[in-house]
Amino acid sequence: MVKNMTTKTTKRFKGKVRDTYLDLINKFPLISIRSEEDLKAAQEVVDRLLTRGKLSSGEELYLDALSDLVVTYEDEHYPIEAASDAELLRHLMEAERISQVELHRKTKIAKSTISEILAGKKNFSRQIIRTLADFFDVDVSLLTHHL
């Protein structure tokens, strides 16, 4: 399997794609970000690439790799706490411009349950997660961080 993946990567990493990618690496090598200065420099490169508009395949491959390095550093040094069930539900309702009463009518979730979740007194149950995921057309994993 590794050989097959290597073959696929090699096929898409030839000619102009490779040349563009390696040119970017020569300008800003893809190495672990270990300081705020490294992070700032990496973000400047990311910003420059993003403002170009349509990128070549080599530029996209490079941007993906550099973005992964930035995310790894930020996840370690700037962790973001997961949103509460109340915050998630409030956000989904605001995005859909739907009231508690409308949510109750359309999902058959008890009004009291919706109120308790929004007040932070109750977490999502598995049944509520499935109902909300279906109703708001979101992946179930978005709502399962407390399970």
Banded pLDDT at 64 (limits 50, 70, 90): very high
The token pair that represents 70 in the structure block: 């930035």
pLDDT value at residue 82? 84
CB neighbour class for 46 (10 Å; exposed up to 12, middle 13-18, buried from 19): middle
Average pLDDT of 83-92? 95
Domain boundaries, the chain: 2-77, 85-143
Phi-psi region of 31 (alpha: psi -120 to 50; beta: other; left: phi over 0): beta
Q: What CA–CA distance (Å, rounded) separates 66 from 12?
A: 18
Q: Which long-range contacts does 44-51 make (Cβ < 8 Å, 24+ apart)?
A: 46/70
Average pLDDT of span 73-97: 94
CATH number, domain 85-143: 1.10.260.40
* Structure-token pair, residue 46: 């990311």
Please report, rounded to a whole number, the percentage of residues in the chain having pLDDT higher than 70.
Answer: 91
Tell me how crowded residue 98 is: count the other CB atoms within 10 A of its CB.
17
Region 59-74: what's the mean pLDDT? 95
The pair of three-digit structure tokens given for residue 50, joined into one six-digit string: 């993003």
